[in-house]
Amino acid sequence: MHVDMILDSKEEVIKYLKQEGLIKLEDNALVEYLSGGVSCRVWKVSVNNDRWVIKQALEKLDVKADWFSDVERIHREHEVMKQLEIVIPDCNIPKILHVDYVNHIYLMTCAEEGVETWKDLLMNGIFNPVTARSAADILSQIHNQSLKIDEQIKAGFSDQKYFIQLRIDPFHRFLMGKYPELSAEINALIEELTSQQTCLVHGDFSPKNMLVEKSGGIVLIDYEVAHWGNPVFDLAYCLGHLMLKAWHLNKPAEILELISVFMANYKGQVRNLLPHLGLMLLARMDGKSPVNYIQDEKLKQNIRDKAIHWIRGGDSALNVLDAIKKQY
């Protein structure tokens, strides 16, 4: 389905809000562009005493390599958020205010003023264990409480096409093209992620999607890759980002403490975490969406070597935390 209206300027956002009757013609709305990652346009709207976030899916993602995904995925996102509001009423996630199925847009409540992403705080040298605990708590709730979701809705979330388009294809399968010698191991990881469907998986559980409030607690955003699947993906995804920041910032002790707090407070069971974590690290070096903050070639090769070691089953006799500590 082609989108009729593209929200690519402040003027277009205001025009859209007035056209939909969300603001009055005479309202003086302030519109600010927010970073939407590579997959969406995201705007913050302030009007009268209200603050909202409006989000629209992109068909071609904003990366160097050609990478396309079905814009219908944005409707999975707001459907997941509505369900989490039901089964985890005290969970700190935005509330949906308006949905547009034609233009693939939705409007939600905005986090408190002054929040920063956990990624930005980490990059600025702020290592708060309260935030790591909050991240573990909210992930535990999603994985455990999602079992209460209605069976029919659960069945809809079991369709993993967006997860395939936005994770398996650009991470796992793209890497197999670069590392054909790892094809058997990577295929086995794909099989685990797609066949072992036990709970709701966020699919983008990264520090950039955690808005940190003054209390240190987080508001979790970006659910467009959410699906019924294997919870190991969320842990590997988050831990991979934390490990990369430890190398980049040269702050292993501080970030290892955050990882320890996160893992101690995660209340769930996952299997075979290290190979999946290795895959995430390798994907962030050589997948379709590599991290932009690690440029040193020697460090990149060091990360590749460690990642491949884990993908091939290395360190399997160690517990995950000890295996991670061994890398620094």
Q: Per residue of the chain (328 residues), give pLDDT as tens.
A: 344 677 888 999 999 999 999 998 888 889 999 865 556 789 999 998 899 999 988 775 444 444 445 677 788 888 999 999 999 987 788 999 999 988 889 899 998 888 999 999 999 999 999 999 999 999 999 999 999 999 999 999 999 998 998 899 999 999 999 999 999 999 999 999 999 999 999 999 999 999 999 989 999 998 989 999 999 999 999 999 999 999 999 999 999 999 999 999 999 999 999 999 999 999 999 999 899 999 999 999 999 999 999 999 999 999 999 999 999 9
For 259-277, the three-class secondary structure string (H helix, E strand, C coil) is HHHHHHHCCCCCCCHHHHH
Same domain, 50 and 146: no
Same domain, 81 and 120: no
Same domain, 161 and 306: yes
CA distance 295 to 235: 25
Same domain, 131 and 98: no
Same domain, 42 and 149: no
Q: Which two tokens stand for residue 145?
A: 């409480």
Q: End of a domain among 62, 90, 110?
A: 110
Q: Residue 27 has what pLDDT? A: 85
Alpha carbon 184 to chain centroid distance? Answer: 26
CATH code of the domain in which 42 resides: 3.30.200.20
DSSP 270-310: -S-HHHHHHHHHHHHHHSSS--SS---HHHHHHHHHHHHHH
Task: Print the domain residue range for 65.
Answer: 1-110
Same domain, 18 and 130: no
Same domain, 223 and 184: yes
Same domain, 27 and 41: yes
* Residue 103 · residue 91 · CB < 8 Å: no
135-154 burial string, b = 16+ CB within 10 Å, else e?
A: bbbbbebbbbbbeebeeeeb
Same domain, 147 and 232: yes
Same domain, 97 and 229: no
- In this prediction the pTM is 0.89
Same domain, 197 and 237: yes
Residue 182: CB atoms within 10 A of its CB come to 20
How many independent structural domains does the chain possess?
Answer: 2
Q: End of a domain among 80, 110, 140?
A: 110
**Residue 2, phi-psi category: left (phi > 0), alpha (psi -120 to 50), beta (remainder):** beta
- 17 forms beta bridges with none
CA distance 45 to 8: 14
Q: End of a domain among 71, 87, 110?
A: 110
Same domain, 182 and 234: yes
CATH code of the domain in which 328 resides: 3.90.1200.10
β-strand pairing of 50-57 with 210-212: unpaired
